[in-house]
Amino acid sequence: MKNIAPTDAAALEAVETREWIDSIDYVIEQGDKGRTVRLLDALRARARQSGVREAFTSTTPYINTIAAGDEAPYPGDREVERRIKSLVRWNALATVVRANRESDGIGGHISTYASAATLYEVAFNHFFRGKDAGADADLIYFQGHASPGVYARAYLEGRITETHLRNFRHELRKDGGLSSYPHPWLMPDFWEFPTVSMGLGPLQAIYQARYARYLENRGLKPVSDQKVWAFLGDGETDEPEALGSISLAAREKLDNLIFVINCNLQRLDGPVRGNGQIIQELEAVFRGAGWNVIKVLWGSEWDDLLAKDRDGLLVKRMHEVVDGEYQRYVVEDGAYLRKHFWGADPRLLEMVSHLSDSELKHLRVGGHDPIKVFNAYRAAVTTKGMPTVILARTIKGYGLGEAGEGKNITHQQKKLNESDLKTFRDRFGVPIPDDSIADAPFYRPDEDSPEVTYVKARRKALGGFVPKRVVAAPAIRPEMPGIFEEFFEGSDRKASTTMVFVKMLAKMLRDKEIGKLVVPIVPDEARTFGMESLFRAVGIYSSIGQVYEPVDMDTLLYYKEAKDGQILEEGITEAGSISSWIAAGTAYATQGINTIPFFIYYSMFGFQRIGDFIWSAADSRCRGFLLGGTSGRTTLAGEGLQHQDGNSHTLALSVPTCRSYDPAYAYELAVIIRDGIKRMYGDGEEGFYYITVMNEQYAMPAMPQGAEEGIIKGLYKFKDADPDAPASPKPKAKARAQLLGSGAILNEVVKAQEILAKYGVAADVWSATSYNELYRDAHRTERWNLWHPTEPAKRSWVAQCLADTPGVVVAASDYLKSQPDMISRWVGRPVVTLGTDGFGRSEDRVALRDFFEVDAKYIAAATLSAIHRANGIDAKTIAQAFKDLGINPEKADPALS
């Protein structure tokens, strides 16, 4: 007998399922979505009570988040917008193709923008608000590799010329060119945010949105409807920075933030998740973090099919296909799709039996459908209480056809032949005749054409062209009376430069003129730097104030959070903190507010951990101060190899707009910070400062007469050899030396001066506040001399200071020996350098300085050794000195031990 039971069970289940669906359909048709959700919740609760365990799911089905029935009609002229988009597509492609024909290997990308065109065009025509919108102007992080499309649109708008497009990636040409990617340093009137080091843009966008709220809550900016848009690639989300702070955005309820992820399922080498689904993965991550997730997967052509999918077969099929296969569908024809996608179930095949292969092939994905994209943006800009991420499915190299659409090579495709160009032209209906197509000519319709008229009108209505960078805040020329003077006088009370800085910061915060503009930023390290007094004084920023009573409420310096709090206490995230610092330090342009950020952190976790952010800060023309705390390889005792910093000044040198200083005394710090504020906020210098501060406490001397210029330039005489006769032209001593010291090591140099006097050596002491500035000045001067050979040669600052001095030159610092080495060429004789090359280790300060050979005795011994080689003292004296000082010539080299 035949067993028909299983079939019966399946049939029964199908009937049962249909009944349930009919029931829920009925509820949905009544139009109360809340009722539907409550009903489902009740069913789920009921099942759970009865022991049914659902599998955890953080994703929704593989369909559009916004149902077709909920869509608003498109507000624009679809036809003219399509033509505009086609022209932008063409000119973007032509820009790259022409550049690479002319200069092989010059680069550029076609396929990124080809996939993102609709995502941008809908925003350009209907959402992005320009600078004329004032406080409502949007801040937009464009995906760096899509820049040819952004240029092509600016061309259509008449903002850039054909010459510019022709000079894409030829920035040095006479008539001006276009930078490869968004670089405010190179195109300061155009780009606002550098994004092409992938991952940095999204993270900075989050903190930018948060900083906008900070400005509003502190009354520095009117409450506005400004949005921060970040466009990124799906491959880019593998960068830890890209997703690393998304929970902050949800926690802070940043409904002024919109991520648009261009999910073309491909990155440079191949699929982002060939064996999985990047969109579902991202949905889970963002939903889990508390974001509003809007998936835009399918174009309008799918609406009818999905409406017919009463049994959920199509949704199931959509859900089970992996990205590698979806990518395959892009390159295959309609027959392949019918067989491999629809052919999975006869009922699916039946669903599309009325469609030809060609129609099947042209069912668009969501990110290429303006209606779907418009509705996603519309939902995003009106969402309250949470940030939104739009996951838009697109096709990499859309329109390139055989030349690269959906292919793994598409990211690198830069050269198209005549037939490729024709295919693209035909696909988008670009009016370029056959006889000129091979040249890939740019095409811009007449000024009064419907296309140009339309884009201009739309941008006018939306507050002007984007992207656009303007410096909206005028200089402030602050006087800052009474802040810095006390530090010039010196004090016998021992203090560290960190304590001095905190005191200065507290005074700046109280200043009538700049107080409210100062933004202290700290990554969970305020107590390390003795900043806790500021908690109470100015409060820690919290968008919701303080909804609990802090545990230390009854103490003077309690942990005070406030909605108008001034300190950005970022928690343990140097990447987040630097992003806040960049938002604050560029606010003079982006928000038109001259905020002055001070970001203080463990110096080892600065340049070497977040160096790329600092580079992007420089590109962004950022202003402000970075304070490398607890710095100095031997000054920070105990903490060992991963904390003790001897490197950061060397790394800082590589950033062109960063001035770095290693001050020793309170007055040096005061001179540098005062000068910095005046330069940046008074004179409009678009650069920033890196200052190392240390935690060794010592008395702070008074500022020597006339030291200011040298402090700023990097070197000044701190103490003459003979304190009783500072200007004596004829030293009594038989041997002479110039000793250079910086930071806390300057004190060791002063002690060495005393030791040397006992051996008959008269040594002058110099404070080297910045080898990096000396090096730059020397090269600037040398370059001028090189290119002006017939004019009297100029002298660098370091030569002016040292070249005419007598004796050997010995320099000691808590950083790499390469720091003083950098100036040796201009001193007129070799410089003996002592520094802290090598790995730090856990020890006390005395032992560390002995180990690295940077304490007073080593400085004295090195000086004597150099004098001996210069025949200044005899062998007996040097042998005795080594013995007296306890120098072991056979000691292991600290550089690698």
Query: Which residues here bind ligand TPP, judged by CB under 6 A?
Result: 112, 115, 145, 196-199, 233-236, 262, 264, 266-268, 272, 396, 411
8 A C-beta contact, residue 834 and residue 860: no
Query: CA–CA separation, 122 vs 766, rounded Å?
Result: 62
In the complex with ligand TPP, the residue whose CB is nearer, 115 or 660, is 115
> Closest separation between CB of residue 236 and Mg ion, Å?
7
Residue nearest to ligand TPP (CB): 233
Residue 402 is given by DSSP the state G
8 A C-beta contact, residue 633 and residue 646: yes
In the complex with Mg ion, the residue whose CB is nearer, 235 or 463, is 235
In the complex with ligand TPP, the residue whose CB is nearer, 215 or 610, is 610
> Closest separation between CB of residue 400 and Mg ion, Å?
15
Residues in 235-274 that interact with Mg ion by CB under 5 A = 235, 264, 266
By CB atoms closer than 10 A (0-12, 13-18, 19+), residue 303 is middle
The residues pairing with 767 across neighbouring beta strands, listed in sequence order, are: 716, 741
Query: CA–CA separation, 846 vs 698, rounded Å?
Result: 15
- Phi and psi of 442, rounded to 5°? -75, 155
Partner whose binding site includes residue 160, from Mg ion, ligand TPP, none (CB under 5 to 8 Å by kind): none
Please name which of 572, 619, 574, 579 lies closest in space to residue 597, comparing C-alpha atoms. 579
> Closest separation between CB of residue 612 and ligand TPP, Å?
8
- Left (φ > 0), alpha (ψ -120 to 50) or beta: where does 100 sit? alpha
Query: CA–CA separation, 188 vs 473, rounded Å?
Result: 15
User: Helix, strand, coil shares of the chain as percentages rounded to 5?
Assistant: 45, 10, 40
**What's the Cα-to-Cα distance from 572 to each of 562, 608, 611, rounded to whole Å?**
20, 16, 17
Asked whether the CA dihedral 796, 683, 517, 478 is positive or negative, the reply is positive
In the complex with ligand TPP, the residue whose CB is nearer, 407 or 411, is 411
In the complex with ligand TPP, the residue whose CB is nearer, 184 or 807, is 184
Tokens 């910045």: give the residue.
770
Query: CA–CA separation, 438 vs 430, rounded Å?
Result: 14
Token pair recorded at residue 883: 């013995």
Partner whose binding site includes residue 145, from Mg ion, ligand TPP, none (CB under 5 to 8 Å by kind): ligand TPP
Q: 152-171 mask for Mg ion (x: CB under 5 A)?
A: --------------------
> Closest separation between CB of residue 113 and ligand TPP, Å?
9
Q: Which 3-state string (H, E, C) describes 518-529? A: EEEEECCCCCCC
> Closest separation between CB of residue 726 and ligand TPP, Å?
54
Residues in 307-346 that interact with Mg ion by CB under 5 A = none
> Closest separation between CB of residue 193 and Mg ion, Å?
19
In the complex with Mg ion, the residue whose CB is nearer, 263 or 867, is 263
In the complex with Mg ion, the residue whose CB is nearer, 233 or 835, is 233
> Closest separation between CB of residue 373 and Mg ion, Å?
17
Partner whose binding site includes residue 236, from ligand TPP, Mg ion, none (CB under 5 to 8 Å by kind): ligand TPP
Partner whose binding site includes residue 89, from Mg ion, ligand TPP, none (CB under 5 to 8 Å by kind): none
Starting at the edge strand found earlier in the chain, the sheet holding 808-812 runs 715-719, 761-768, 735-741, 808-812, 831-834
In the complex with Mg ion, the residue whose CB is nearer, 392 or 867, is 392
The residues pairing with 625 across neighbouring beta strands, listed in sequence order, are: 598, 689
> Closest separation between CB of residue 794 and Mg ion, Å?
52
> Closest separation between CB of residue 278 and ligand TPP, Å?
9
Amino acid in position 101: R
In the complex with ligand TPP, the residue whose CB is nearer, 86 or 112, is 112
In the complex with ligand TPP, the residue whose CB is nearer, 148 or 199, is 199
> Closest separation between CB of residue 563 and ligand TPP, Å?
36
> Closest separation between CB of residue 199 and ligand TPP, Å?
6
- Hey, how many other C-beta atoms are within 10 angstroms of the C-beta on 885? 16
Please name which of 575, 468, 387, 621 lies closest in space to residue 142, comparing C-alpha atoms. 468
Q: 63-82 mask for Mg ion (x: CB under 5 A)?
A: --------------------
Token pair recorded at residue 501: 């800085």
Residue 763: enclosing H or E segment and its boundaries? Answer: strand 761-768
In the complex with ligand TPP, the residue whose CB is nearer, 137 or 198, is 198
In the complex with ligand TPP, the residue whose CB is nearer, 233 or 606, is 233
Token pair recorded at residue 579: 């992003």
Residues in 205-234 that interact with Mg ion by CB under 5 A = 233-234
> Closest separation between CB of residue 280 and ligand TPP, Å?
16
Burial track 218-233 (b if 16+ CB lie within 10 A, e otherwise):
bebbeebebbbbbbbb
In the complex with Mg ion, the residue whose CB is nearer, 236 or 773, is 236
Partner whose binding site includes residue 196, from ligand TPP, Mg ion, none (CB under 5 to 8 Å by kind): ligand TPP
> Closest separation between CB of residue 376 and ligand TPP, Å?
17
**What's the Cα-to-Cα distance from 269 to each of 115, 408, 414, 695, rounded to whole Å?**
16, 6, 15, 48
Alpha-helical regions (H) of 245-395: 246-251, 278-289, 303-308, 313-320, 323-331, 334-340, 346-351, 357-361, 370-382
Q: Which residues contribute to the site for Mg ion (CB under 5 A)?
A: 233-235, 264, 266
